[in-house]
């Protein structure tokens, strides 16, 4: 994509900007469709209909909401730290969007083919944490501060099991680059990492149960990292109003929503790349059988978006099924269960991949 645009326009800066705008458009679509789906999914799970009045089955509801958000008055209370208060929403979205730089949408559409890929994504989430603290502190509100503290404690705890599972995949594939990881799981679905990765032999079958365990661990911990229910104590409505963005309204609030849904998509995409072949089709490509090779990147983008959306839907399903955990239960799940299992899983996968 970058190379094609570079040949077309002859300007590296311009083509880099165009390539970077694709994930941005994707994030906006994820927010619009995601918020609508969240309402519909929650409604149908609770035997309601959800938004029905604006447009067909409430499909224009989001546009109405967006216009409402845009024309809201920008209120901030007197004792907020104005500079940091305004900086935090921008920073939180920048950091959430920065994670998209190394996510391959298809074999042709990838922002940066940097070798450090997944490691970069884990590192950049540290900036999200700092900006959450910034938002919580600058609002000068005890609910905001408590929400920020809870959120940060939760994110940095659950980063450990996430990183351990990522490490086990990195040991198996021998690369940190997300593009190369997807490339390795090519052809059919039995080459996906959840089914032991590419290559045949008895190690592949030995790996399957540990891969499933790794997938469950990383799914739970990324759910906690995005502050979704059952791990949403940072923004527990009954205790903390809305957590670290209690004081925000209008577009600044919308920035937090953007980054939340952007994060949801990003972690779903990462899980689909690590375990479910990323942009690879499970059954081969139409482009190959019809002898139209230009179709393949589009098909890959379709499969990538489909897999990521399936994981987002599972996140929504869990959100409206499970009750919220208490703080001590949250930390127990992380430190007493997920981390020991993740370490054990890492060691076993390491031994198997040496065989």
53 φ, ψ to 5°?
-80, -45
Which of 48-56, 145-153, 189-197, 308-316 is the region at the interface with other proteins (rule: CB under 8 A)? Answer: 145-153
Closer residue to other proteins (CB): 167 or 296: 167
Closer residue to other proteins (CB): 124 or 305: 124
Closer residue to other proteins (CB): 112 or 185: 112
92 contacts other proteins (rule: CB under 8 A): no
139 contacts other proteins (rule: CB under 8 A): no
> Helix, strand, or coil here: 8?
helix
Cα–Cα nearest to 171, from 327, 349, 355: 349
Q: What is the DSSP string of 180-241?
A: HHHHHT-SBGGGSGGGT-SS-SHHHHHHHHHHHHHHHHHHHHHHHHTT-TTS-GGG-HHHHT
Query: What mask of x and - would describe binding to other proteins in positions 9 to 48, judged by CB under 8 A?
Result: ---xx-----------------------------------
165 contacts other proteins (rule: CB under 8 A): no
5 contacts other proteins (rule: CB under 8 A): no
Q: Are 182 and 192 in contact (CB under 8 A)?
A: no
Q: Give the whole-angstrom CA distance, residue 344 versus residue 338.
A: 10
Tokens 């994981």, residue?
311
Which of 35-43, 132-140, 232-240, 305-313 is the region at the interface with other proteins (rule: CB under 8 A)? Answer: 132-140
Among 24, 70, 90, 123, binds other proteins (CB under 8 A): 123
Q: What is the DSSP string of 229-291?
A: TTS-GGG-HHHHTTGGGTT--HHHHHHHHHHHHHHHHHHHHHHHHHHS-TT--TB--HHHHTT
Least distance from other proteins to the Cβ atom of residue 192, Å: 24
Q: What is the DSSP string of 292-317?
A: -GGGHHHHHHHHHHHHHHHHHHHHHH
Least distance from other proteins to the Cβ atom of residue 115, Å: 3
Among 64, 130, 251, 348, binds other proteins (CB under 8 A): 130
Closer residue to other proteins (CB): 62 or 99: 99
Closer residue to other proteins (CB): 85 or 279: 85
266 contacts other proteins (rule: CB under 8 A): no
Among 19, 103, 176, 194, binds other proteins (CB under 8 A): 176
Q: Give the whole-angstrom CA distance, residue 239 versus residue 114.
A: 43
> Helix, strand, or coil here: 104?
strand
Which of 67-75, 133-141, 257-265, 347-355 is the region at the interface with other proteins (rule: CB under 8 A)? Answer: 133-141
Q: Give the whole-angstrom CA distance, residue 178 versus residue 13.
A: 23
**Site residues (CB under 8 A) for other proteins, limited to 215-234:** none
100 contacts other proteins (rule: CB under 8 A): no
Among 62, 110, 124, 316, binds other proteins (CB under 8 A): 124
Q: What is the dihedral of CA 252, 253, 258, 259, to 10 degrees?
A: 90
Q: Are 216 and 204 in contact (CB under 8 A)?
A: no
Among 41, 62, 133, 166, binds other proteins (CB under 8 A): 133
Contact positions toward other proteins, by CB under 8 A?
Answer: 12-13, 81, 84, 114-116, 119-120, 122-127, 129-130, 133-134, 137, 140, 145, 149, 152, 156, 159, 176
């Amino acid at each position: 994509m970058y190379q094609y645009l570079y040949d077309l326009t002859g300007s590296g800066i311009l083509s880099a900007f165009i390539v970077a705008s694709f994930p941005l458009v994707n994030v906006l679509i994820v927010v619009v469709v995601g918020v609508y789906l969240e309402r519909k999914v929650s409604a149908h799970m609770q035997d309601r209909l959800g938004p029905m009045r604006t447009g067909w089955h409430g499909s224009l509801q989001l546009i109405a909401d967006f216009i409402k958000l845009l024309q809201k008055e920008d209120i901030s209370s007197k004792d907020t730290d104005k500079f940091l208060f305004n900086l935090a929403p921008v920073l939180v979205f920048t950091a959430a969007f920065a994670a998209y730089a190394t996510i391959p949408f298809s074999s042709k559409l990838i922002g940066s083919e940097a070798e450090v890929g997944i490691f970069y994504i884990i590192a950049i989430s540290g900036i999200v944490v700092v900006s959450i603290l910034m938002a919580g502190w600058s609002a000068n509100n005890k609910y905001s501060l408590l929400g920020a503290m809870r959120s940060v404690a939760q994110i940095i705890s659950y980063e450990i099991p996430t990183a351990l599972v990522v490490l086990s995949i990195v040991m198996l594939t021998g690369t940190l680059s997300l593009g190369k990881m997807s490339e390795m799981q090519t052809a059919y679905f039995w080459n996906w990492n959840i089914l032991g990765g590419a290559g045949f032999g008895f190690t592949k079958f030995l790996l399957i149960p540990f891969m499933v365990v790794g997938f469950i661990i990383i799914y739970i911990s990324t759910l906690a990292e995005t502050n979704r229910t059952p791990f949403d104590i940072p923004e527990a409505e009954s205790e903390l109003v809305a957590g670290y963005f209690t004081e925000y309204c209008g577009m600044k609030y919308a920035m937090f929503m953007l980054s939340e849904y952007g994060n949801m998509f990003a972690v779903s995409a990462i899980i689909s790349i690590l375990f479910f072949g990323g942009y690879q089709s499970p059954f081969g490509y139409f482009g190959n059988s019809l002898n139209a090779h230009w179709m393949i990147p589009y098909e890959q983008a379709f499969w990538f978006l489909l897999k990521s959306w399936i994981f987002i839907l599972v996140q929504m399903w869990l959100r409206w099924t499970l009750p919220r955990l208490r703080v001590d239960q949250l930390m127990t799940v992380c430190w007493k269960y997920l981390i020991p299992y993740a370490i054990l899983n890492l060691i076993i996968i390491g031994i198997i991949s040496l065989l």
